[in-house]
Each structure stands twice: as C-alpha cells, then as structure tokens.
Amino acid sequence: MNDETGNRIQSGKPADNGGEQPLSGREILIVLAIIALVCAVGYFLLLKLIDVSRQDDCILAHRRNCATEAPFDR
C-alpha cells in the first residue's frame, strides 16, 4: 500500500526474514571464538612448516648441524 505521497505504509506486521532468526550475542561470540582458534592454529602450523622448510633447505645444501640452527634468523 502507498499513501498519496508515494511512500510505503508500514503495515504493523513484522518483517519476514525468510524464516531465519538473527544470531544472539552469545552465538556471535562462539563463532568469533572459533574463528580466532582456527587462526591461531593456522599461525602455529605455518610457523612449523617454515621451520621444517628451513631444515630441509639446510640438509639439501649439505650443511652440518642443521638441527642446531636458529629456527628464525631475523
């Protein structure tokens, strides 16, 4: 329905969101905590892969004492 100015008239019925309910604050925090956990695990996995790659490079270069090298030479 439109009024004489062409604006839509509010019917008083709640908006239909296709049957979906909005997320509560608690559910949002749970989702954010899961995302943070996945990011942290991914970060530590990346660090481990970098360390293994550097050890492989050392071994393939026929260097000695590869295990005693600093894991991150910065």
Query: Residues 18-58: pLDDT tens digits?
Result: 678 888 989 999 999 999 999 999 999 999 999 999 999 99
Q: pLDDT per residue over 6-18, tens digit each?
A: 666 666 666 666 6
42 within some domain: yes
62 confidence band (pLDDT: 50, 70, 90)? confident
43 within some domain: yes
Q: What is the pLDDT of residue 74?
A: 47
6 within some domain: no
Q: What is the pLDDT of residue 21?
A: 85
9 within some domain: no
Q: How many domains does the chain have?
A: 1
Spell out the residues 6+ positions from residue 31 whose beta carbon is closer than 8 angstroms to its own: 23
d(CA 67, CA 29): 42
